[in-house]
């Protein structure tokens, strides 16, 4: 085999390894936007935070809370509800996070973990939103790294499933371009786009799934059930239905500690609360791609 063929062979093998590394999630197998059926059992699950209350009791206002800065992300937004039902063309044209929606948050300045209350109004109806803490390398390196080492890293080279070594192997000058965050809870809005959620950070999550995406069912105890009701946001009206959602844990943070609940080391934190749409690995039309639609800077301290 001549030198040209050797070079071509090496290039092909390198491409196969690179693609495999980006498609393969070292925790859950091959999962891309084109693959929506996954095999899970209870060992993969984590039910976040306090027990959910379906009653909407709004308590926050301009005097006792802060407002999340909302913005539109047209290239990445999802235009289907959590059940997978698309919104009408009129709704897609008219809805704007920046113009229509409001999210307010009240959080504790000190405590054994991050604790807060979040109230959302006029968001997308029957819609699932991830709740995260996002570090800022330029503002606070220690809290940035605490979040990354207990949550997830996202490097600006494509792909999503990175490990600690990927961050550590990045040059110091380039680390400011990395995202370090922990996904720790979520909420689902009602037919009017409203929701209330008490937050208590006790887990590190990877992503959300609907029960109809699971090949092997996760038990009822590890899922949360939500009511989906029709509204004017849809082209066609439908009967009220129920969906069940399951939170997959960030497995690399539970190695040898399957029941772990402590994910924020002691210290001062200068971070952002981040609100992200859940896309459910939906690659079809209007499926979206985890659009981040809200930020709010915060400072708090963790004391055990």
Instruction: Give this prediction's pTM.
Output: 0.88
Q: Where are the domains of the chain?
A: 1-30, 35-302
Q: Cβ(223)–Cβ(169) under 8 Å?
A: no
List per-residue pLDDT tens for the chain, 304 residues long. 566 555 455 454 444 444 343 333 333 333 333 435 566 678 889 999 999 988 899 999 999 999 999 999 999 999 999 999 999 999 999 999 999 999 999 999 999 999 999 999 999 999 999 999 999 999 999 999 999 999 999 998 877 789 999 999 999 999 999 999 999 999 999 999 999 999 999 999 999 999 998 776 788 899 999 999 999 999 999 999 999 999 999 999 999 899 999 999 999 999 999 999 999 999 999 999 999 999 999 999 999 8
Query: E strands along the chain, which residues?
Result: 24-25, 29-30, 66-67, 69-70, 102-107, 110-111, 115-121, 128-134, 152-154, 179-188, 195-200, 205-210, 224-228, 241-249, 267-277, 292-302
């Amino acid at each position: 085999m001549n030198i040209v063929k050797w070079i071509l062979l090496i290039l092909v093998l390198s491409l196969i390894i690179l693609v495999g590394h980006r498609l393969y999630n070292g925790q859950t197998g091959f999962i891309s936007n084109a693959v929506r059926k996954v095999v899970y059992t209870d060992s993969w699950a984590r039910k976040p935070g306090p027990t959910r209350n379906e009653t909407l009791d709004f308590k926050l206002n301009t005097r006792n809370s802060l407002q999340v800065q909302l913005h539109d992300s047209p290239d990445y937004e999802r235009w289907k509800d959590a059940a997978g039902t698309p919104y009408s063309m009129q709704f897609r044209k008219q809805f704007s996070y920046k113009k229509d929606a409001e999210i307010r948050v009240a959080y504790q300045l000190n405590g054994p973990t991050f604790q807060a209350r979040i109230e959302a109004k006029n968001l997308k109806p029957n819609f699932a939103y991830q709740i995260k803490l996002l570090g800022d390398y330029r503002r606070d390196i220690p809290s940035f790294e605490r979040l990354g080492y207990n949550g997830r890293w996202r490097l600006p080279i494509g792909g999503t499933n990175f490990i600690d070594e990927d961050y550590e192997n990045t040059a110091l000058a380039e680390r400011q371009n990395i995202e370090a965050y922990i996904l720790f809870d979520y909420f689902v809005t009602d037919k009017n786009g409203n929701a209330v959620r008490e937050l208590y950070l006790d887990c590190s999550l990877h992503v959300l799934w609907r029960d109809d995406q699971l090949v092997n069912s996760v038990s009822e105890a590890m899922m949360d059930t939500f009511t989906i009701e029709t509204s004017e946001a849809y082209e066609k009206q439908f009967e009220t239905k129920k969906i069940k959602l399951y939170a997959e844990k960030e497995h690399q943070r539970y190695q040898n500690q399957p029941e772990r609940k402590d994910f924020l080391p002691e210290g001062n934190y200068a971070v952002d609360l981040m609100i992200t749409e859940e896309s459910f690995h939906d690659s079809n039309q209007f499926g979206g791609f985890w659009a981040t639609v809200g930020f709010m800077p915060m400072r708090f301290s963790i004391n055990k």
